[in-house]
Structure 1
Amino acid sequence: MKTLSNKPKLGFIGAGFIGQIAHLDNYAQLNTCELYALAEMRTDLREQVSRKYGIGKTFAHHDELITDPDVDAIIVVTARSHTFEVVFDCLQANKHVFSEKPMAGNAEQAEILVQLAKKKGLIYCVGYMKRLDEGVEKAKSLFDNALKTQSLGKLLQISAKCYMGDSYCKASGNIISHESRPLMIDEMLLAPDWLDDDRKPDFARYLNVHSHILNLIRFFLNATPSVEYFNYLNPLAHVAILSIDNVLINLETGEVQQRDWQESCTFVFERGQLILELPPALLRNVPARVTLIDNLQNAEKRIFQPDWSWAFKRQADYFVRLLCNQNSNNIISGEEALIDIQLAESIWKKMVN
């Protein structure tokens, strides 16, 4: 494999709404990389987006892009049902890869990608950008310190929730063409075989929306909890009980018809609480809110306000720094994302069993 330059040349596969708003826009603001190539099946969209971002090479299909020897790394933002096959092709072509989540529809496929990247010595990242939110970073530092010093006593319980609402926050600036979206396979076909067909679409939805909160729980614990219970009343309401080291984790997930995104983690200690409240993903430059309640210090309540920043932009910078060997610890690796899918499957197996 060739040595990357200090300014890696990036290829992008997919130029839809999320591809533009959450990825292309952010990489374009970095002076540490070059937006070199774009693959997009919609002709008019491909031409307009490439002109906007000054992308010199364009392709109708990812098969063409991955053969370009000058492409150092590829950002894959395709329909979820095609993420696995496209990432596989990119890794097979010896390209470093960042893909949106989930990386695959089931753990078996995800394992294939992880092993392929490992075999070829490639960087593979998956878009769990909330680990790079400045508020999350602050909360993780406070959490680790509380565990180490026992300043708040023992950790007793974690209460986590994610209620998906309308989170688009008037996100704008993307180019819209009137071309039809390319045909795509039904993502339910990628769900685990052990699920009944009528449950497969629900699992695919759960994995897409709620793997973020699973990823965050694991990030704070530096470990994977076991699953005690799962109740899936309907596609809009579900509860899971997890546990680790005698700590119970109550996880509420669902979907609401509100202009809101309700996602939070409350870490309950013997003598205080740490509360992390996450913003809607597309709300630019608003990091997570962090509150620390210390009942030993005159019931002190401290609210931490990190700098205005956006997790998606910090993620883009993080991936480029990984490519340039400026980071050695990949906290958004394919290995981590694989464990999230395995945990999601373990949760759903509780319902099946």
Structure 2
Amino acid sequence: MENIRLGFVGVGGMGQMAHLRNYLTIPGCTVAAIAEIRPQTARLVADRHGIAGVYADHREMLAKEQLDGVVASQQFGHHAALLPEIYPHVRRVLTEKPLCINADVGAKLVTAAAAAGCTHMVGYHKRSDPATIWAKAKIAELTASGRLGKLTYVRILMPAGDWIANGRIGLLSANDKPAGPSPESEPRPSDLDEATYKKYVDFVNYYIHQVNLMRHLIGGPYQVTYAEKTGVLLAVESAAGIAGTIEMTPYRTTIDWQEEALVCFEKGWVRLTLPAPLATNRAGTVEVYSDPDGGPPERTSPTLPWVHAMRQQALNFVAVCRGEIAPPCAAAEAVEDLRIARDYIRLRFGV
């Protein structure tokens, strides 16, 4: 099996706890180098995990290392400046969601990656959860067979809650200050004032996962048809005429995470529940309710492996680096999420 050499750009909270710890234990994968602008924290991480290459920034790392891929765990507002400097040096890149802030900038990133021959996988980790994978396959099976009738509606519920779920236990930090500058931040678009822009960025930061998951579950492109003015409800319609809603924090939890999706057919449904993003060693759950003609109603649930979404996402990226699979979500699709987000803001605020 080909050994994959990875470099990390950023080993802060998400860099370590959402990403690095998952790659360190994948057979045939070596974390060869890290680039971190906080030198003492970089050394702590490298010493703990036996990482040979430690660099002050991504430029130095890319100049000195031969890497198969880069995991760049950075604030998404830095992607526009950072990624064009990475694309020419590696064939695969993984970043956190979203692709960037503005769709037009995202389209330029897609073009730059293609020109460099680099595949950019965007970290929509919910697609990698074993529960989502199982539910997606079941939805496809039911759609093809027609056993429960037509797909009629998709509802996603996303209350704010404890997304960390003790997932930062073991985080290494020297509490040192950056020794160098961060990448330049993406500028605010001219058509949004400061207050509306903040609302847009907050939406993109928190709910872009659900925007992406909606497309994944509803089975294709969709458009925003309604944006409730207080920010609780977003309604959509797919290109195939299927209705959907995203409910955004109609209530909140303090020590729980209650994200779920309900995919409805005429004669049943598939319910997907997802754990907190940094919860480890657990998948989501799936329940299927079927009430077909000529048979008694029944509820079934699969037993899923003890694998969390971030772990499976890491396994997927290594497989992408080997050329075994396509990214679960590539940069070109992630641009569409930003367009949906902008349409939502336009409907909600009239700008």
Report TM bin, short chain.
over 0.9
| Counterpart for residue 205 of structure 2 | 208
TM-score in terms of structure 1 length: 0.92
| Counterpart for residue 67 of structure 1 | 63
Q: Does 1:307 align with 2:301?
A: no
SS of the residue 2:118 aligns to: coil
Task: Say which is worse superposed, 102-111 or 214-223, in terms of deviation.
Answer: 214-223
| Counterpart for residue 124 of structure 2 | 128
| Counterpart for residue 344 of structure 1 | 341
- Number of aligned residues: 344
TM-score in terms of structure 2 length: 0.92
* Structure-2 separation of matches of 1:74 and 1:315: 14
- Name the amino acid aligned to 1:199: T
User: Is the CA contact 1:7–1:32 (under 8 Å) kept in the aligned structure 2?
Assistant: yes
* Structure-1 separation of matches of 2:28 and 2:312: 13
Q: Does 1:246 align with 2:244?
A: no
The alpha-carbon deviation at position 26 of structure 1 amounts to 0.6
The 5 A counterparts of 1:37-48 are 37-48=33-44
User: Is the CA contact 2:94–2:121 (under 8 Å) kept in the aligned structure 1?
Assistant: yes
Q: 1:137 aligns with which of 133, 140, 152?
A: 133
| Counterpart for residue 296 of structure 2 | 298
Inter-CA distance 290–56: structure 2 relative to 1 (3 Å threshold): same
Inter-CA distance 94–134: structure 2 relative to 1 (3 Å threshold): closer
* Structure-1 separation of matches of 2:212 and 2:126: 9
Structure 2 gap ranges (5+): none
SS of the residue 1:198 aligns to: helix
The alpha-carbon deviation at position 120 of structure 1 amounts to 1.8
- Name the amino acid aligned to 1:330: P
RMSD, aligned α-carbons: 2.0
SS of the residue 1:249 aligns to: strand
User: Is the CA contact 1:164–1:260 (under 8 Å) kept in the aligned structure 2?
Assistant: no
- Name the amino acid aligned to 2:306: W
| Counterpart for residue 326 of structure 1 | 324
User: Is the CA contact 2:316–2:327 (under 8 Å) kept in the aligned structure 1?
Assistant: no
* Structure-2 separation of matches of 1:289 and 1:183: 42
Q: 1:76-113 CA distances to partner (integer Å, 9 max, x unpaired)? A: 01223223322221014345211111121111111111
Q: 2:14 aligns with which of 12, 18, 33?
A: 18
Inter-CA distance 170–140: structure 2 relative to 1 (3 Å threshold): same
Task: Say which is worse superposed, 282-291 or 329-338, in terms of deviation.
Answer: 329-338
The alpha-carbon deviation at position 276 of structure 1 amounts to 0.8
* Structure-1 separation of matches of 2:268 and 2:202: 35
The alpha-carbon deviation at position 73 of structure 1 amounts to 1.5
Q: 1:162-182 CA distances to partner (integer Å, 9 max, x unpaired)? A: 112122111211112222467
The alpha-carbon deviation at position 121 of structure 1 amounts to 1.6
SS of the residue 1:58 aligns to: strand
* Structure-1 separation of matches of 2:62 and 2:287: 45
| Counterpart for residue 161 of structure 1 | 157
User: Is the CA contact 1:157–1:267 (under 8 Å) kept in the aligned structure 2?
Assistant: yes
* Structure-2 separation of matches of 1:144 and 1:192: 39
Moved over 3 A (4+): 92-95, 180-187, 189-193
* Structure-1 separation of matches of 2:195 and 2:227: 17
User: Is the CA contact 2:154–2:218 (under 8 Å) kept in the aligned structure 1?
Assistant: no
The alpha-carbon deviation at position 352 of structure 1 amounts to 3.7
* Structure-2 separation of matches of 1:39 and 1:292: 45
User: Is the CA contact 2:218–2:242 (under 8 Å) kept in the aligned structure 1?
Assistant: no
- Name the amino acid aligned to 1:302: T
- Name the amino acid aligned to 1:38: I
Inter-CA distance 257–288: structure 2 relative to 1 (3 Å threshold): closer
- Percent identity at matched positions? 25
* Structure-2 separation of matches of 1:165 and 1:330: 28
* Structure-2 separation of matches of 1:222 and 1:32: 34
Q: 1:102 aligns with which of 95, 98, 102?
A: 98
Inter-CA distance 91–212: structure 2 relative to 1 (3 Å threshold): same
The alpha-carbon deviation at position 321 of structure 1 amounts to 1.1
User: Is the CA contact 1:191–1:203 (under 8 Å) kept in the aligned structure 2?
Assistant: no
SS of the residue 1:306 aligns to: coil
* Structure-2 separation of matches of 1:213 and 1:123: 23
SS of the residue 1:273 aligns to: strand
The alpha-carbon deviation at position 271 of structure 1 amounts to 1.0
